[in-house]
Structure 1
């Protein structure tokens, strides 16, 4: 089965065959370019981190060697592990602290060296920096508790914070004799110590990712080493954007985090790369502009053409296409289409006029069928009166008949007011009262405001005449009731005309035929009724509804006519 697709979708699909691959290519290329630039910047940062990390790990290795030699091979330290004379213990401790001082002088990162000797109740320290009394007291108290519990003795370097000062601690010793080194992380050399602050910032975090140096500033720019532990680099989301490179030192047990101010990718691209990036942005901007132009020049005219055709399909022959188009082909199609619709309209008017002529001929033929039927009845009645020599009644009947014929011989091709039709019925009933020995009784109930409602002539009269002719029962007075009321539904308003009698009713087979939707065969008894139905069908285009039914005694005929403002 062939699949149909609109021209709009077809054009867009063709354009997408070229645009999408190009946009994807440029997007991938730009992504690769940005990624390559970031990798290059990150590689520079990693080199800086490597330099400072290697320097710290070398210093820590030197300190480890010094402390290991001291604990394992220094004679003074070995003697101090046992109880000895206070003076000799003091001299041995001084020898050790002098070596401490030499190491502190060599390694500027050391904040302090500490010696704890429980056997000789000695505590000695050497500080490599200026610390307050409270800081020294807090550090000493922590170290005393640490050597008593011995949880970290002999293990790697670990972090402990004293106030705002983070220390890397190393504890060696046993049996109450301990040598401790405290490296002050604030004393480590950093890029911001020797260069412009804008060129990069290095700070440290413990193994859990908690910031150790520059804590407030790092928290403000959104640094999180633990979350990005596996990332080669990442961008911060603070007030100023930074590219963060970090590395974990197994020897020190801390993170080295290096931040480079991220000034945007354009500052790191060459001319060709910037040009390609600008072309990519330009193409992306051209996509909605191109769609707008396509919509204005092609899609909108096509949509208007389809809309105009749908309007014409719905019956609006006045609909025309706009011919003010910039595309020559659309203007030609529009002009040709409008000319074609003008010719179609003229042909349709001509065909409609011929159809009206045919309908008028059919109506005239139906009217002619009714007139002889009624005239014969009147002549029979006059003949009966003449036989009885009732010349006065004949005169009155001729006057009544002349009034009736005056209405009858008007232009019956047009609709007449309901009041005129009811007046015609009254004339007919006068004729019946003059000629019949048991004349029928007719009652009229018309809703106020329906006097000018227009209906086909001789319509109600035909049903009244049919009741008089076929519904009368011997020995009973025939009563005929005519009602005219308005009915209103949610969708439309109708005028309901009904003719009811108390006669014999319709034969069942004839009743079924009268209520059928198809054509009903003519018969001698129903020629008038079929004429009325035919005329209503022609005049109201099938919108009028007839209902025939038998009552408990008699019959009822109802007509439902659309209530329009004016019908000529």
Structure 2
């Protein structure tokens, strides 16, 4: 993740700067071109407005100062009206040549139902009739009477064409002119807007008055404000720049193809986009290649090392296609771990061998005092010729030593250990008649469970050695039961006597788990049991020492339950506390 994040931190900003530079340069070029065309539209719109202004002034001057118009307006007789009409026709016919943009001048007297029209060039009859009818309807409807007193050119759509109409009312006579919008576009045809661009007039509602096919073909929107430029278009983008007219409710708009503005810049943009796209594609591909060639082999190596650290020495790195360097590392690692595992097995087997030897040695330890005392008892029984007791004593000693010499077993059945303890008790009972009693309680379902040999008997022997006297009888009780400790079924063995118990010093040492063996060899039995239990169970055994109430020693041993006999070790012993 750190490596991938580092590569991304280096790459992504460079791609971002590259894209930003491309977008910024495009915006700068568009701004400059838009400013240039905006100035051009202002210039040409000013020329159009000046042309309309000249026509406006001519109409106003005629209304105010021309005697023929006054006569046309005020004449009462039909003769005077017709004469003034002829005079106005001649005047308008002469003057229309000065205004090349005007298609027609007209005079309309609604009360006399008279329409005088002077055309620069005769157009189609249908066009002229449609325009005249529109003008008549507009004037006769009288919906907005004040509109004819303003100096504004009105835009009208007549038979799919747009016209600019100017009407001035003077008394009962309307004097005006109309211009075909296409005629005003003639000067703009000399301007180079590119192969697909052009200029046009549009209403303030965004409807094209001229060059309608260009708008419809490219679906350019004209309803935005003309204060700033904007981009519009369907199949290709156009830079839209416009300027509103000061004389009418229409705009002069320039459509400049975006590819003409940018010229070679689109190719550079494409290159930048391709570079950015290539970087974005190559970045994950590069990271994937990096992950496949370096990160995954490292991950497999680290994963194997973690499994080995957790104790799985058989863990190996699987063979997979990778670079030669990692193949050498993996093979070396696997060979090294095989050698380590083999060495560990040898060391472990040697330790097991030493443990077995130590267990056998500990199990073969015989208390010389017990042996001598037993012979002394047999001697005294022989002196009194008590042959039955001699036979019983001999049989108990034979069974005792037979059990002691079973040095090849690390575990025996619980019933065998209890029988050995009873056998030892019978021998001691002959030695201390009336001074020693013993009772053993064990559930029937536990008697076939396996336990280490000479554990219970050793603590009984320790009680006989340190607690039994001829002054006061001693009672020993042995209770075996099953408990569940941390989810693991265990056997608990409680050995308790009615003797004087442990001294404070001895009890403190035993509770700390320290050895009590003295230079004279005392307490070797307890050390023997502790040592063998540690060898067999490591830490999965608990043994506690305490004094009973009101007195007496109490030993409690907790062992994991074992249903199979094990020789030479404790590999199948369950662990307490997860160990």
TM-score by length of 1: 0.68
Give the Cα separation in 1 of the matches to 2:332 and 2:376.
67
The answer to whether 1:314 aligns with 2:310 is yes
1:484-518 CA distance string (max 9 Å, x none): 345562xxx242323153646655554454343x5
Give the Cα separation in 1 of the matches to 2:382 and 2:286.
96
Matching residue of 2:196: 199
The answer to whether 1:457 aligns with 2:453 is yes
Asked if the contact 1:487–1:494 (Cα under 8 Å) also holds between the matched residues in 2, the reply is yes
Asked if the contact 1:201–1:260 (Cα under 8 Å) also holds between the matched residues in 2, the reply is yes
Aligned equivalent of 2:527, options 521, 527, 530: 530
Matching residue of 2:122: none
Asked if the contact 1:169–1:183 (Cα under 8 Å) also holds between the matched residues in 2, the reply is yes
The equivalences for 1:115-134 within 5 A come to 131=130
Matching residue of 1:483: 481
Aligned residues: 541
Matching residue of 1:443: 441
The answer to whether 1:65 aligns with 2:54 is yes
Give the Cα separation in 2 of the matches to 1:110 and 1:387.
167
Q: CA deviation at 1:557?
A: 0.7
Asked if the contact 1:113–1:125 (Cα under 8 Å) also holds between the matched residues in 2, the reply is yes
Matching residue of 1:400: 396
1:440-488 CA distance string (max 9 Å, x none): 1111126x4x555443222233344445666789467543311134556
The answer to whether 1:561 aligns with 2:560 is yes
Q: CA deviation at 1:219?
A: 12
Q: CA deviation at 1:310?
A: 2.6
Give the Cα separation in 1 of the matches to 2:467 and 2:176.
133
The equivalences for 1:134-283 within 5 A come to 139-140=138-139, 144-148=142-146, 154=150, 189=185, 199-200=196-197, 223=221, 226=224, 230=228, 232-234=229-231, 236=233, 238=234, 240-249=235-244, 251=246
Which region of structure 1 is more displaced relative to structure 2, 125-134 or 436-445?
A: 125-134
Which region of structure 1 is more displaced relative to structure 2, 132-141 or 292-301?
A: 132-141
Matching residue of 2:63: 74
Give the Cα separation in 2 of the matches to 1:371 and 1:116.
154
Q: CA deviation at 1:409?
A: 1.0
Matching residue of 1:542: 539
Q: CA deviation at 1:295?
A: 3.1
Q: CA deviation at 1:368?
A: 4.6
1:17-61 CA distance string (max 9 Å, x none): 7x779757865676578668x749x949975x8777755553333
SS at 2:314's partner residue? Answer: coil
Give the Cα separation in 2 of the matches to 1:497 and 1:133.
124
Which region of structure 1 is more displaced relative to structure 2, 357-366 or 195-204?
A: 195-204
Asked if the contact 1:112–1:129 (Cα under 8 Å) also holds between the matched residues in 2, the reply is no
Give the Cα separation in 1 of the matches to 2:300 and 2:285.
21
Q: CA deviation at 1:163?
A: 12
Asked if the contact 1:460–1:499 (Cα under 8 Å) also holds between the matched residues in 2, the reply is no
The answer to whether 1:356 aligns with 2:330 is no
1:106-159 CA distance string (max 9 Å, x none): 677889989799xx99997979767599976885588x44344x7x96576687
Asked if the contact 2:516–2:522 (Cα under 8 Å) also holds between the matched residues in 1, the reply is no
Matching residue of 2:576: none
1:403-437 CA distance string (max 9 Å, x none): 23222211256233444334433434454566552
The answer to whether 1:495 aligns with 2:490 is yes
Q: CA deviation at 1:338?
A: 3.4
Give the Cα separation in 2 of the matches to 1:457 and 1:451.
14
Give the Cα separation in 2 of the matches to 1:98 and 1:388.
182
Q: CA deviation at 1:308?
A: 2.8
Give the Cα separation in 1 of the matches to 2:366 and 2:165.
127
Matching residue of 2:334: 338
Give the Cα separation in 1 of the matches to 2:232 and 2:206.
18
Which region of structure 1 is more displaced relative to structure 2, 343-352 or 520-529?
A: 520-529
The answer to whether 1:414 aligns with 2:410 is yes
Give the Cα separation in 2 of the matches to 1:109 and 1:393.
157
SS at 2:442's partner residue? Answer: strand
Asked if the contact 1:68–1:172 (Cα under 8 Å) also holds between the matched residues in 2, the reply is no
Give the Cα separation in 1 of the matches to 2:107 and 2:535.
121
Give the Cα separation in 2 of the matches to 1:224 and 1:423.
112
Say which one has the larger Rg.
2
Give the Cα separation in 2 of the matches to 1:57 and 1:480.
124
Give the Cα separation in 1 of the matches to 2:561 and 2:137.
104
Which region of structure 1 is more displaced relative to structure 2, 220-229 or 241-250?
A: 220-229
The answer to whether 1:301 aligns with 2:290 is no
Give the Cα separation in 2 of the matches to 1:72 and 1:84.
17
SS at 1:199's partner residue? Answer: coil
Give the Cα separation in 2 of the matches to 1:467 and 1:357.
33
SS at 1:244's partner residue? Answer: strand
Give the Cα separation in 2 of the matches to 1:323 and 1:557.
53
Give the Cα separation in 2 of the matches to 1:27 and 1:559.
75
Asked if the contact 1:241–1:261 (Cα under 8 Å) also holds between the matched residues in 2, the reply is yes
Question: Can you give the 5+ residue segments of structure 1 that lack an aligned partner in the other structure?
Answer: none
Which region of structure 1 is more displaced relative to structure 2, 435-444 or 314-323?
A: 314-323
RMSD: 5.9
Give the Cα separation in 2 of the matches to 1:257 and 1:388.
146
Asked if the contact 2:59–2:176 (Cα under 8 Å) also holds between the matched residues in 1, the reply is no
